[in-house]
Chain A
Amino acid sequence: MAIDTDVIRHLSEAQVSVELQTEDMTLNIGPQHPSTHGVLRLVAQIDGERAHDVQPVIGYMHRGYEKLSEVRTYPQITTIVNRIDWVSGYANEIPFIVAAEKLMELEVPPRAQYIRLVLTEMARISSHLIFMASYPLELGAATPLFFALRERERVLDLLESVTGGRFHPNFNRIGGVKPVAGAGSTQKKVGQDLPVDFLPETMDAMDRVSKVCDELEDLVAGNEIILARTRGVGVFPIEVAASYGLSGPNLRASGAAFDLRKIENYLPYDDFEFNVITGTNGDCWDRWHCRLQEIRESAKIIQQAIDGIPSGDLQAKVPKVIKVPAGETYVRAENPKGEMGYYLVSDGKDGPYRLKIRSASFSNLSILPWALEGVLVPDIIAIMGSLDFVLGDVDR
């Protein structure tokens, strides 16, 4: 045709010699995105396939619980702390109740402590199973969801049969646990404090939970795509993770054997044999694998606790109007998400003067700007999902 080949050559040379100008694109992720477990917005600058300067925008779920606690009495506060991390509502109650009991110097009956421990570990299993369901889904594998949620439903049913609530049990009372509705005074009717079949059914459910862990391991650990997307992705060195205040499986995956169940004495964990699961590389894969193994350990703890559950009262003797003596204390506990703690300042009244809520997801999420610097765009979701946060636990 009529095009001069010389002109074409000239043009192509001209294009090559011009330096390519790339412009950063701002990518807005959320606030409504399935991988954010609540309402989280990320504002990322995208340069080609890489993200940099990622800024999480939080606060959509802020409910002001620390302020609300200042106008409530101690028994009323358990209802609101339930709603901090709604995936494991039961586990949120424990450190608050223990902080109040510590200042009151109350001795909680052993049976109540064992029931608390069993239910806390069940909350951990149900929280970790949600992660087992959602994390592969975020990476494109839908099948594990059905396996994980099937068992989670069973665990939640058992939790509900004792407490009356699937998500917000509100079952703890200062000095013990609530008598089951309709059981009357527990002093008179010992043995009616738990539903009749609860203990054997839980034993059975824990066997099945351990079995589903094997199935999940087969499904996910044998999936090459998931391995390729998680191994070596989002590596947190232990010093960085600690300085950002990461805790729970996120910190243990980096190699720290930091488990508050072994360190603090808020529940009788010393009575049981269980391992602290740690990872080696601190990547997304290790964070997934740590949680999977923790489910097995929790199932083991529950079975041991049911074997050795003592009989006795559910409640220590407490006054009708609960007033906590003046003092300050910090009580932290191993929540499914990590370190959950309450700094309680009491002035001897029926409500706290100040209640600082230390939630695990807030610190866990704060590593995101560091962790997402320079990663590939699809890895944003892989890294974010591996942190296993809940926005209610971030914003409080």
Chain B
Amino acid sequence: MSSSPSETDAAVENETQAQSHPLQGYAGAVAEAVGGTAGIQFDTIKIKIPNDTWVDAHITARDEFGLVHFSWLSAIDWSNEVEVGDALSDEVEERLELLTTVGDISEGRRVTFSTDLDHATPVIPTLIDVYAGANWHEREAHEMFGIDFLGHPNLAHLYLPDGFLGHPLRKSFPLLTREVKPWPGKVDVEAMPEKATAEEPSTENPEA
């Protein structure tokens, strides 16, 4: 699932903004140094890197670009079949996308790194030696998405009770309270009263 070498030269895909985005130069420089592809959406720089350079890319970002602040790590489950919420409009390649956001603490720059992991057996080396703060975020991603972080000292559950089965933030994990009791929120919006009366004139209940 890693990007092919031809894509890794600092090609900046500017997705929504005009060609001369103020962050474009910076995004291109970081992407070139870590061997990834940069995309900018609004003011979020997302750099896609192959998963075998995951740790090295973060070391480069920290040491060469001063991105010393570890903001967060999490994942997105790209699935075509979902148990909760709406399915995606278009078919996607099924994968887990692992994301981190790191920033610097003087200029306020931030970069989001992303890599794709195999849906069935997601494995990636831990970032603890680069950013100490990755510890809890990786535990959370392990418990919520089932991602294995190689070299992590303690992948015990953070939130859920011991022995909990399944990974709740995966799209294949049903939201059980909604299975038991349908909720009139997003799932099925009731018809507006005027519409209901217009379709069925008040013949059903004449004495009312």
- List the interface of chain A (C-beta within 8 A of B): 58-59, 62, 64, 66-68, 70-73, 76, 102-103, 238-240, 242-245, 247, 251, 256-258, 260, 262-264, 326-330, 332, 339, 341, 343, 345, 347-351, 353-354, 356, 358, 362-363, 366-367, 370, 395
How close is B201's CB to chain A, nearest CB, in angstroms?
26
Q: Is the CB of B74 within 8 A of A343?
A: yes
> Chain A residues with Cβ under 8 A from B89's Cβ?
326, 347-349
User: Number of contacts between A and B (CB, 8 Å)?
Assistant: 137
**Least CB distance, A390 to chain B, in whole angstroms:** 16
Q: Is B29 at the interface (CB under 8 A from chain A)?
A: no
Q: B186–A260 contact, CB under 8 A?
A: no
- Contact yes or no, B70 A251, CB < 8 A: no
CB pair B132–A243 under 8 Å, yes or no, is yes
Interface segment, B6-14, B47-55, B115-123, B152-160?
B152-160
Number of B residues contacting the other chain (C-beta, 8 Å)? 46
Asked whether A59 and B159 contact (CB < 8 A) given A242-B69, A351-B85, the answer is yes
Q: List 29 A-B contacts (CB under 8 A).
A: A58-B159, A66-B144, A67-B175, A68-B175, A71-B85, A71-B175, A71-B185, A73-B185, A239-B68, A242-B70, A242-B105, A243-B131, A244-B131, A245-B71, A327-B15, A327-B42, A330-B110, A343-B112, A345-B76, A349-B89, A350-B186, A354-B77, A356-B74, A356-B76, A363-B133, A363-B136, A366-B135, A370-B132, A395-B159
| B144: A residues at CB distance < 8 A | 66
- The 7 A-B residue pairs with the shortest CB-CB distance in the complex, in nearest-first order: A263-B108, A59-B159, A245-B133, A62-B159, A70-B85, A244-B133, A358-B72
CB within 8 Å of A: which of B44-98?
44, 46, 68-72, 74, 76-77, 84-86, 88-89
A332 to B72, CA, bound (A): 11
Point out the residues of chain A lying under 8 angstroms from B205, CB to CB: none
A interface majority secondary structure:
mixed
Residues in A whose Cβ lies below 8 Å from that of B71: 245, 332, 339, 341, 358, 363
Contacts of A330 in B (CB 8 A): 44, 101, 110, 112
Tell me, rounded to whole Å, the shortest Cβ–Cβ distance linking B38 to chain A: 14
In the complex formed, the residue of B with least CB distance to A103 is B42
